[in-house]
Amino acid sequence: MTSHPDFDDQGVVFWHTDFDTALAEAKKAGKGLFIESGRYACGNCRRLIETVIPRPEVHAYLNEHFVSFADDCDEMAPQMLDKHVLDVLSLTPRSAGGSS
């Protein structure tokens, strides 16, 4: 497994750092694409990766249903700036399987 590029997720999720590869793998596997776009100096980003993702029920769900992609929002991958990707991100539900 490839750990998160900026934070210690205890090696529980395979993180892609190339958007095109992550998207292709998600399509091939019939999974969603989980995008974590943060920055090293972000305390909330660090808490997400270091305390939430390592929870067994969280990383099990992520690994089963998603391909994970980590991106640095300060140096965002060019594909992330594509209008269609931004439209999809803005329409993505805030909670999986529950009402918002």
Neighbouring C-beta atoms of residue 64, cutoff 10 Å: 8
Measured CA to CA, the distance from residue 40 to residue 46 in angstroms comes to: 7
SS3 16: strand
Task: Give me the architecture of the 15-91 domain, per CATH.
Answer: 3-Layer(aba) Sandwich (3.40)
Task: List the pLDDT tens digit at each of the 100 positions of the chain.
Answer: 478 888 888 889 999 988 889 989 999 999 999 988 887 888 888 898 999 999 999 999 999 999 999 988 777 667 766 655 655 555 444 444 444 4
**What DSSP line would sit under 32-83, residue for residue?**
EEEEEEE-TT-HHHHHIIIIITTSHHHHHHHHHHEEEEEEEGGG--GGGGSH
Q: Are 9 and 49 in contact (CB under 8 A)?
A: yes
Where in the chain are the domains? Answer: 15-91
The pTM is what? 0.73
